[in-house]
Chain A
Amino acid sequence: MEQLNKKIFPNRRSVVGKLLKERQDMLVVTGLGSSTYDVYAAGDHNNNFYLWGAMGSAATVGLGLSNSQPTRKVLVITGDGEMLMGIGALATIAVQRPTNLTIVVLDNGHYGETGMQQSHAGKGIQLDRIAHACEFDYSVQLTTLEEIESLRQHIHSNESLNFAVIKISTENPPRTMPSRDGVHIKNRFRISLGFPPN
Chain B
Amino acid sequence: MHTDDRNTNNWQGLVFPTLKACNIKHIAYVPDAGHTVAINAAIEDIKTTSVMLTTEEEGLGYLAGAWLGGERGALLLQSSGIGNCINTLALQSCGRFPLLMIITMRGDWAEFNPWQNPMGQATEAILKHMGVITWRADKAEDVEKLIRGAATMAFDGDSACAVILGQQLIGEKEWNN
Instruction: Give A residues with C-beta under 8 Å from B.
Output: 27, 29, 49, 51-69, 86, 88-89, 91-92, 95-96, 182-183, 185-186, 189-190, 193-195, 198
Contact = CB atoms under 8 A, between A and B. Distances in A.
A56 B65 CA distance: 14
A76 B26 CA distance: 20
Interface of B: 25-26, 49, 51-55, 57-71, 73, 87-88, 90-91, 94-97, 155-158
A55 B86 CA distance: 11
A181 to B, nearest CB: 8
Q: Which 10 residue pairs across A and B have the least CB separation, nearest first?
A: A64-B65, A68-B69, A60-B61, A88-B54, A57-B61, A182-B95, A64-B66, A182-B94, A54-B91, A61-B65
Contacts of A189: 68
A62 B61 CA distance: 8
Interface of B is mostly: helix
Contacts of B158: 198
A49 B62 contact: no
Contacts of B64: 57, 61, 64
A60 B58 contact: yes
Contacts of A55: 87
Contacts of B58: 57, 60, 86, 88-89, 92
B69 to A, nearest CB: 3
Nearest to A62: B65
Contact of A195 (B57, B70, B157): B70
A128 B52 CA distance: 22
B156 A64 contact: no
B68 A54 contact: no
A112 to B, nearest CB: 19
Given A56-B88, A61-B64, A96-B51, A185 B95 contact: yes
Nearest to A184: B95
A95 B53 CA distance: 9
